[in-house]
A and B are shown apart, each in its own frame.
Chain A
Amino acid sequence: MLTAIIIDDEQKSREGLEAMLHDMVEGVSVVATADSVTNGVKAIKKNNPDLVFLDIEMPKRDGFELFEAFETIDFEVVFTTAHEQYASKAFRTTAIDYLLKPIDLNLLQEAVERASKKREKDKVNKNFEVFVNNLKNNKSNQQIAISSSDGLIFIKVENIIYLRGDGAYTYFFLKTGERITVSKNLKEYEDLLSEYDFFRVHKSYLIHMHEMKKYVRGEGGYVVMSNGDSVDVSKRRKENFLAALSKL
């Protein structure tokens, strides 16, 4: 049974969707509702749901701003809105569906089913990934396994130059010149790679400290990597970055 939260500024809309899910859709239980992004963030942190039904146009903060409150998006998102124009932006986030109001029951059922399957698949992948990574680490073979759409890709840590995060996606830049896209956010890899001398120099960048060619001072400054790419260092992280440099 999936747990769900509904975020919508219209009371009647929240109540209607909650009743629809309760009476007409199997496999989902609404654990909380919220009338704004701010209250939605609180409800998600408190309830840790599998699925969030999210309205887009709400007073003060729109639905897309919800993602800024989380380092890791560990829930599925279904947008519910009367506006068609946000669909492409919605799918660039972690959205698994985009339902137009008034909500079609069949599409709602399909969205819940899709979310359920994705949660199950993610769980299996995550368990396997953890297992493989543990195995590799135990053998002192510095490789990591990352999930792709059709399985796992093994990458030698020494071949990674840096990683760039963009919302729900992370891009790996390798010494081979390849760029690999993974549908997980940067925070997950920060946790995994921190023990291999990787450092988060910016909200969007995690760099391999052994692949730096040059650090150029500035307000935050920037780093030139071994492949010639420049990576900004944020002002906020500069001090910790310089401390990490001195320990290399």
Chain B
Amino acid sequence: MPQDDLHSDNNLLNSFKAFMGSHFALNVINSIQSDIILKDNTSAFGTLQIYSRLYKTSIRHSNEQYVLLSDEIDLLKDYLSLEQIRFSEYRIPSIKEIHIDPQTTVPSFIFQSLVENALLLSLTDKTNHLKITIADTDQSTQLKISLTPKPGKNIHQKVQSKVDLAIERLEVMKTGGLQYVLDWDKEDFMELTYLKQ
């Protein structure tokens, strides 16, 4: 196997581990345990359903450098639903989707780490209102995250290594032809744009 491919595969595996082996997953299981103790079967069942779906999608994505944008958005939605269950006192926004082409592909797990970072920043400072937009045009696919007030480039300590890993992976994929721009200093908090080939 060529060295670049091996590096890419390792990075992909690490991205999966960073997501599903993280405090996030343990906290979700703890939340299900709490529901069971509190005899809230509906909530336990609902959380378990979402978590199982997320787990299965993640396992599938852990074998693919590129996945369908629509699948990645589904994974993000499940992720945000679980965070909403954990932080019930905070309203986590839904993702605004613009012109999503179901056949568009994007690198797996990248969006999730950037969204998690923005979510943690907004939880830390509740004046940071979170807005997530995914737009798909003929030329590019774009993830835009707004935080108000805009803090500039800011990475939450909890996900520093995960975001670093995502950026490293994007760089490795560049050698395989991926064209992207990750901009922390636009009008929005963060914009990630993939140029379609």
Contacts and interface: CB of A to CB of B under 8 A. Distances in A.
Given A82-B26, A82-B27, A102 B89 contact: no
A35 B126 CA distance: 14
B158 A102 contact: no
A201 B32 CA distance: 51
Interface string A1-30: 000000001111101110110010000000
A102 B87 contact: no
Contact of A82 (B30, B35, B87): B30
A169 B30 CA distance: 33
Given A10-B87, A59-B123, A20 B26 contact: no
A95 B89 CA distance: 29
A20 B37 contact: yes
Contacts of A9: 87
A102 B23 CA distance: 10
A35 B90 CA distance: 13
A13 B123 contact: no
Contact of A57 (B88, B125, B158): B158
B34 A16 contact: yes
A114 to B, nearest CB: 22
Q: How large is the interface on B (under 10, 10 to 19, 20 to 34, 35 or more residues)?
A: 20 to 34
A12 B124 contact: no
A82 B26 CA distance: 6
Secondary structure type dominating chain B contacts: helix
Nearest to A56: B23
A101 interface: yes
Contacts of A100: 26
A103 interface: yes
B183 to A, nearest CB: 26
A16 B35 contact: yes
Contact of B37 (A10, A11, A23): A23
B38 interface: yes
Nearest to B47: A12
B86 interface: yes
A102 B29 contact: yes
Interface in A166-197: none
A9 B88 CA distance: 10
A60 interface: yes
29 contacts: A10-B27, A10-B31, A11-B89, A12-B31, A12-B34, A12-B85, A12-B88, A13-B30, A13-B86, A15-B38, A16-B31, A16-B35, A16-B37, A16-B38, A20-B37, A23-B37, A57-B23, A57-B158, A59-B123, A59-B124, A81-B23, A82-B23, A82-B26, A82-B27, A83-B23, A101-B29, A102-B26, A102-B30, A102-B33
Interface of A: 9-13, 15-17, 19-20, 23, 35, 57, 59-60, 81-83, 100-103
